[in-house]
Amino acid sequence: MSDFKRRYFGTDGVRGRVGVYPITPDFVLKLGMAAGKVLSRGQGGRVIIGKDTRLSGYMLEAALESGFSAAGISTVLLGPMPTPAISYLTKAFRADLGVVISASHNPYYDNGIKFFSAEGTKLPDEIEYEIEQELDKEVTLSDPAALGRAYRQDDAPGRYVEFCKSTFSGRLSLEGLKIVLDCANGATYHVAPLVFKELGAQVITIGTAPNGVNINDGVGSTHPEALIAKVLAEKADLGIAFDGDGDRVMMADSTGTLLDGDALLYIIAADRQEQGKLHGGVVGTLMSNLGLELALKERQIDFVRSKVGDRYVMESLLEKGWHLGGENSGHIICLDYVSTGDGIVSALQVLKAALRQGRTLAELTAPLQMLPQELINIRLTAGFDALTDPKVKAEVQAVEAELGAKGRVLLRKSGTEPLIRVMVEGEDRKLVHHYAQRIADVIRKQAEEEQG
User: Residue 423 pairs with which residues in a beta bridge?
Assistant: 375, 410
CA-atom Rg of the chain in angstroms: 22
Residue 293 near residue 227 (C-beta atoms within 8 A): no
Question: Of all helices (H) and strands (E), which one includes residue 411?
Answer: strand 407-413
Any catalytic annotation for residue 104? yes
What is the rounded CA–CA span in Å between residue 34 and residue 71? 8
Q: Crossing angle of helices 125-135/25-40, nearest 10°?
A: 120
Contact (CB, 8 A) for 189 and 207: yes
Question: Half-sphere exposure of residue 91, counting CA atoms within 13 Å on the CB side?
Answer: 14
Please name the amino acid found at residue 317: L
**Amino acid letter at 390?**
P
261 near 327, Cβ under 8 Å? yes
Is residue 80 within 8 A of residue 190, CB to CB? The reply is yes
Contact 219, 184 (CB under 8 A): yes
- DSSP 8-class letter at 71: T
Q: How far apart are CA 292 and CA 290, in angstroms?
A: 5
DSSP state of 75: E
104 Cα distance to chain centroid: 7
Contact 199, 174 (CB under 8 A): yes
Catalytic-role residue among 56, 69, 104, 346: 104
User: CA 81 to CA 242: how far, in whole Å?
Assistant: 13
Q: Known catalytic residues? A: 104
